[in-house]
A and B are shown apart, each in its own frame.
Chain A
Amino acid sequence: MVEIVSFLSKLILPAILAFIPLYATFRKVPVYESFTEGAKEGFPTAIQLIPHLVGMMVAVSIFRETGALHFYLRLLSPLVDGIHFPREVIPLAILRPISGAGSLAFVESIFRTYGPDSFLGRLASTMQGSTDTTLYVLTVYFGAVGIRRTMYAVKVGLWADLVGMLASWFIVVMLYG
């Protein structure tokens, strides 16, 4: 199973990379010119993202480094204990929508302490794999086209994160609990 999956994920990208230019050549597209023409757009897009990402990363960094995040985690723990949600993965549930790198580091710390095949290891893996960094995705996608008013997009993302976390917990308890 692992072999098949790792083989597939290794195969997909090279396959796409070979297929697109070959198919295009067959359709008589000047591939190299097309490539450089499109690639040109990548640079200004990345530059336009700088103010958005700097703004978001500064706030996240202040929130984390000053211990504010930790404070809210402690505040939440009695509430979470009430529904028997495993205390050890609360920081992951809170970090995941805010910081992808931060939550990944937390998953690694769970693996180091409890092992990847423990109940908590499987739960952390599922939580990390089933949701995305809502704030980052929002910042990058809306930042790239200059959207200021985000409407209800954040709320939708956070609801999805919450359900994803609870569903991870439910299914891991069902299968391995």
Chain B
Amino acid sequence: MVNYIWVFMIASGVVAAVLQGRLDLVTSAALKGAKEGVAVCIGLISILVFWMGMMRIAQDAGLLEKLARLLRPLVRVLFPSVPPDHPAMGYILSNMTANLFGLGNAATPMGIKAMEELQKLNPDQKTASPAMCTLLALNTSGFTLIPATIIGIRMKYGSVDPAEIIGTTLFATGCATLTAILVDRLYRSRWENRVGR
């Protein structure tokens, strides 16, 4: 699916440029995109280095284990294939907690650590496992308690009540997350039927 989206974006971009007789747009857009990609990665270095350091302290102190034990029932339902005492559980929970509070920058390194742990359990290193897809579903549906970024921008534009959208956002993000979990389940059971597990 990613392959198709990728080809679709490039191919329709090239066609659009040809139709306008502006093929130069493709080249400049490609270079601009490449530059942006590297810039995002460089920007991520500081965040990743810092939070992965903090996460290691939390892990060495046994905090991740505690967190995992506390919320085990919930996560067991979502990730049945992960052993309950596996370190992945702690990282998954930290990732979910950070997302809840809208700490996007802190959530990413924890999500990556969770993915690394799930990768250790994955029999095929190049194909996403169902647990990985579930983690991704939780993250792409963007469940948030406090949408901090958007509240900040509303303040900047002089909103009378910047935080009034918390309620509507909570409703919408809840629907999105519920959908993600259900659709993920649906695809997973279909996949399990196909490979005969």
A residues near B (Cβ < 8 Å) are 1-2, 5-6, 8-9, 12-13, 16-17, 20-21, 23-24, 27, 29, 31, 34-39, 41-43, 45-47, 49-50, 53-68, 71-72, 97, 104, 107-108, 111-112, 115-117, 121-122, 125-135, 137-138, 140-142, 144-157, 159-161, 163-165, 167-168, 171-172, 175
Contact = CB atoms under 8 A, between A and B. Distances in A.
A37 B163 CA distance: 39
Nearest to A142: B128
B33 A54 contact: yes
Given A6-B151, A8-B146, A151-B191, A116 B1 contact: no
A63 B45 CA distance: 27
A160 B186 CA distance: 13
Interface residues on B, range: 35 or more
B29 A65 contact: yes
B15 interface: yes
> Could you tell me the dominant secondary structure of chain B's interface residues?
helix
A56 B28 CA distance: 15
Given A21-B57, A165-B172, 9 more contacts: A39-B49, A46-B41, A62-B14, A108-B153, A122-B164, A142-B132, A145-B115, A157-B141, A160-B141
A141 B136 contact: yes
B133 interface: yes
B155 to A, nearest CB: 8
A128 B169 CA distance: 9
Contact of B51 (A29, A42, A132): A42
B159 interface: yes
8 interchain residue pairs of minimum CB distance: A38-B56, A61-B33, A132-B142, A129-B147, A39-B53, A164-B176, A42-B49, A54-B37
Interface in B1-46: 1-2, 5-6, 9-10, 12-17, 20, 22, 25-26, 28-30, 32-34, 36-38, 40-42, 44-45
A5 B155 CA distance: 12
A157 B163 CA distance: 26
B111 A55 contact: no
A152 B187 contact: yes
Contact of A153 (B20, B137, B167, B174): B137
Given A42-B45, A55-B6, A153-B136, A66 B25 contact: yes
B150 A125 contact: yes
Contacts of B128: 142, 147, 149-151, 153
B9 A62 contact: yes
Interface stretch (B60-68, B69-77, B78-86): B60-68
B158 A34 contact: no
Contacts of A1: 161, 163-164
A154 B1 contact: yes
A24 to B, nearest CB: 4
A157 B132 CA distance: 13
A62 B10 contact: yes
A71 B8 CA distance: 13
A137 B104 CA distance: 11
A24 B62 CA distance: 8
Contact of A9 (B17, B26, B54, B148): B148
A105 to B, nearest CB: 10
A66 B29 contact: yes
